[in-house]
Amino acid sequence: MRTRLLTVLLALITAILVIPGPAATADEQGGESLHGRILHPENRDQGVEGIVITVHDGEDEVGAATTDSDGMWEVGLPGPGTYRVVVDQESVPSEFVLREGIIVDGETEVEVEANDQRPLIVALMSPGQAESEEESASPSEEETEDTPAAGDESIETNVDSGSSFGERVIQLTASGLLFGLVIAVSAIGLSLIFGTTKLINFAHGDLVTFGAMIALLFSTGAAGMGNSLLALFAGLGGAVLIGGFLENRLSRTVLLVAQGVSILLGIVLATVLGVLGDAVGWSVPLWLAAVVAVVMGAVLGGSMERYIWRPLRHRNVAMIQMFIVSIGLALVLRHVVLVLFGAGRERYAGFQLQEMVRIGPVEMPPRDLVVMVVAIVVLVGVACLLQFTRIGKAMRAVSDNRDLAESSGIDVDRVTLYVWGLGGGLAALGGVLYGLNQVVEYEMGFRLLLMMFAAVILGGLGTAYGAMVGGLAVGLVAMLSTLWFPSQLMQAWALALMILMLLIRPQGLLGRRERVG
């Protein structure tokens, strides 16, 4: 292997030395330039037109540009060096002022390297805008990175900072409960999956994103892509069901063929529907779209278990390596979602501007109320499932002690499949609820994943009830921290709580001491 590698490398190096420098010219075509986009401070999807930017080398002006209707500008430069960039303050629309930061008094100095096409951030703000408010338009210099649409990464608290302390406490407690319920719904699966398979599923956050995106897709109009996805998942779901229920009744070959046929049919149907495209367009109300999302989430979870995790477990792949596989899957899932649905930040239509409802001292829009009610109903439902049904008891038994459960005759593989299905469905639902409360975008799940980690560690890894308790605690701590601290730090406080718990009681609130061994 090593010699083969070496030969290939040598051949490659020789080849490159022979080519007379095409690459060098390739990246010199652009030469040096400065560019950027000036955004409307309140509506970050909109640019500001007509702002004049000049670039000076010493006292000489070397170039100038005016922003176009999207706010874009670019100035070509004569070569590498240090330049002085001046933003003409006269040209800035009177309702805005330049935000002081890199730009001071409308000027800044920039170093430009050879072949550097450098972005430069010029930001506007409304004159009265508080300095502490979040800024937008985070730059991304890396060629390999996808440009994030906006930099606002904190979670909205929906609380007016003007009201009195007591009112804010009550209002934030309500928001915290809401946030905590969403975390709890999403995190149950994470905790149960850990309990049954000892796997920390780093892809769980992306199951959340997936659910939110699917609901968005079907509530706003599913044409080609929606139908294709639906067909694909129907095929996958069919295969998982065949695998799960007919395992002991059919021979191995028939089983494999049946699963293969199911998946193949799904793919064929998906292609046909994809080609038909918008001809079969339809959309459903959000609640129905949420149901579709939950079902598809369950199918996704189940098929990950059936076709990835179970084979890996049977190959005795070490736990640490499983973690890495789940990280790989998370990357794949997140970026497939990104390709399919784009990087935009969206909200579910029709639920944005709602009249606030007053319940006692708490004020919230009806959508948040619905989110809370749905979450509570689902949590109670899951608790009943775990407590009273046969499959629920089996899940808890496997979660408690996999070997013992196996030796007492429980079909551990099937229970694990159910756990993944349940976990995937709940994560998708969590995504819809989170999306209703906040915004839908491709990294939302990863951000929620960190909160879910905090929740499950707080409550006790591997216990479903621990995830619920931990979720609520994390939600409340995160929201209430904004009473005293900047809102950008609310996630940091939740994670600090997690670290504190690891120091005091690593097994979590409801965990048992031996688990951390």
Partner 1 sequence: MDILSILAESTRSAIGPIAAIYALAAIGLNFHFGYTGLLNFGQVGFMLVGAYGVGVSVAVLGLPLLVGFGVGLLCALVMALLLGIPTLRLRADYLAITTIAAAEVLRLVYRAGFAEPLTGGVYGLQNLASDFRSINPFDGGERYGFGALSYSGNNLWVLVVTWTLVLLMVGVSWLLMHSPWGRVIKGIREDEDAVRSLGKNVFAYKMQALVLGGMAGALSGCMLAVYQAAIQPDQFKPQVTFFLWVILLLGGAGRVFGPVLGAMVFWFLMNFTEGLLQGLGSIGLLPFLETTDYGAIQLAFVGLLLVLLIVFRPQGLIGDRKEMLINVK
Partner 2 sequence: MSSDDVKDGVGSGVGGDDRMVGAEPVPGSAKSDPILVADGVRRSFGGLTAVDVEHLEVQRGTITALIGPNGAGKSTLFNLLTGFDRVDRGRWTFDGTAINGRSGHRVARAGMVRTFQLTKALTRMTVLDNMLLGAQGQFGERMAGAFLRSVWKGQERENTRRAMELLERFKLVDKRDDMAGSLSGGQRKLLEMARSLMTDPSMIMLDEPMAGVNPALVQSLLGHITSLRDEGKTVLFVEHDMDVIMGISDWIVVLAQGRVIAEGRPSDIRSNQEVIDAYLGAQEETAVAGGSDDD
- Kindly identify the residues of this chain, within the stretch 487-516, that bind partner 2 according to CB under 8 A: 512-514
Question: Between residues 24 and 503, which has the closer beta carbon with respect to partner 2?
Answer: 503
- Asked whether position 318 contacts partner 2 by CB under 8 A, the answer is no
Structure tokens at 216: 């968005």
Could you tell me if 46 and 137 are in contact, meaning their C-beta atoms sit under 8 angstroms apart? no
In the list partner 2, partner 1, none, the entry touching 453 (Cβ below 5 to 8 angstroms by class) is: partner 1
Alpha-carbon distance 213 to 346, whole Å?
A: 10
Question: Between residues 315 and 513, which has the closer beta carbon with respect to partner 2?
Answer: 513
Question: Between residues 138 and 408, which has the closer beta carbon with respect to partner 1?
Answer: 138
In the list partner 1, partner 2, none, the entry touching 323 (Cβ below 5 to 8 angstroms by class) is: partner 1
Question: Between residues 60 and 514, which has the closer beta carbon with respect to partner 2?
Answer: 514
In the list partner 1, partner 2, none, the entry touching 512 (Cβ below 5 to 8 angstroms by class) is: partner 2
C-beta of 401: minimal distance to partner 2 in Å? 12
Question: Between residues 102 and 319, which has the closer beta carbon with respect to partner 2?
Answer: 319
List, in sequence order, every residue forming a beta bridge with 463; answer none if it has no partner: none
According to CB under 8 A, which residues from 145 to 204 bind partner 2? none
Question: Between residues 15 and 504, which has the closer beta carbon with respect to partner 2?
Answer: 504
Structure tokens at 504: 């005091």
In the list partner 2, partner 1, none, the entry touching 216 (Cβ below 5 to 8 angstroms by class) is: none
C-beta of 194: minimal distance to partner 1 in Å? 8
Could you tell me if 126 and 42 are in contact, meaning their C-beta atoms sit under 8 angstroms apart? yes
Question: Between residues 343 and 385, which has the closer beta carbon with respect to partner 1?
Answer: 343
Computed over its alpha carbons, how large is the radius of gyration of the chain? Answer: 27
Nearest CA-CA partner of 427 in 179, 177, 156, 206: 206
Nearest CA-CA partner of 425 in 263, 189, 226: 189
Question: Between residues 373 and 404, which has the closer beta carbon with respect to partner 2?
Answer: 404
C-beta of 367: minimal distance to partner 1 in Å? 26
Within 8 A by CB and 6+ apart from 414, the residues are 244, 247
C-beta of 513: minimal distance to partner 2 in Å? 7
Q: What is the 3-state secondary structure (H, E, C) of 241-258?
A: HHHHHCCCCCCHHHHHHH
Could you tell me if 420 and 428 are in contact, meaning their C-beta atoms sit under 8 angstroms apart? no
According to CB under 8 A, which residues from 70 to 109 bind partner 2? none
Nearest CA-CA partner of 129 in 40, 208, 232, 8: 40
Start-to-end CA distance of the chain, whole Å, equals: 40
C-beta of 477: minimal distance to partner 1 in Å? 14
C-beta of 22: minimal distance to partner 1 in Å? 4
In the list partner 1, partner 2, none, the entry touching 409 (Cβ below 5 to 8 angstroms by class) is: none
Question: Between residues 44 and 515, which has the closer beta carbon with respect to partner 2?
Answer: 515
C-beta of 322: minimal distance to partner 1 in Å? 8
Within 8 A by CB and 6+ apart from 478, the residues are 155, 176, 179, 451, 490, 491, 493, 494
Question: Between residues 127 and 517, which has the closer beta carbon with respect to partner 2?
Answer: 517
In the list partner 1, partner 2, none, the entry touching 87 (Cβ below 5 to 8 angstroms by class) is: none
CB atoms near residue 133 (< 10 Å): 12
Alpha-carbon distance 310 to 412, whole Å?
A: 11
In the list partner 2, partner 1, none, the entry touching 370 (Cβ below 5 to 8 angstroms by class) is: none
Q: At what angle do helices 319-341 and 204-220 cross, to 10 degrees?
A: 20
C-beta of 512: minimal distance to partner 2 in Å? 7
Nearest CA-CA partner of 214 in 286, 149, 303: 286
C-beta of 392: minimal distance to partner 2 in Å? 22
Q: Dihedral sign for Cα 496, 497, 502, 508, please.
A: negative
Task: Return left, alpha or beta for 264; rule: phi > 0 is left, psi -120 to 50 is alpha, else beta.
Answer: alpha
List, in sequence order, every residue forming a beta bridge with 226; answer none if it has no partner: none
Q: Where are the alpha helices (DSSP H) in 411-517?
A: 412-437, 444-459, 464-481, 490-504
C-beta of 407: minimal distance to partner 2 in Å? 11
Alpha-carbon distance 330 to 335, whole Å?
A: 8
Could you tell me if 228 and 277 are in contact, meaning their C-beta atoms sit under 8 angstroms apart? no
Within 8 A by CB and 6+ apart from 267, the residues are 232, 235
Structure tokens at 329: 């899957």
Q: At what angle do helices 224-245 and 252-276 cross, to 10 degrees?
A: 170
C-beta of 17: minimal distance to partner 1 in Å? 5
In the list partner 1, partner 2, none, the entry touching 514 (Cβ below 5 to 8 angstroms by class) is: partner 2
C-beta of 113: minimal distance to partner 1 in Å? 6
Question: Between residues 334 and 396, which has the closer beta carbon with respect to partner 1?
Answer: 334
According to CB under 8 A, which residues from 245 to 284 bind partner 2? none
SS3 43: coil
Query: Which residues contact partner 2 (rule: CB under 8 A)?
Result: 512-514
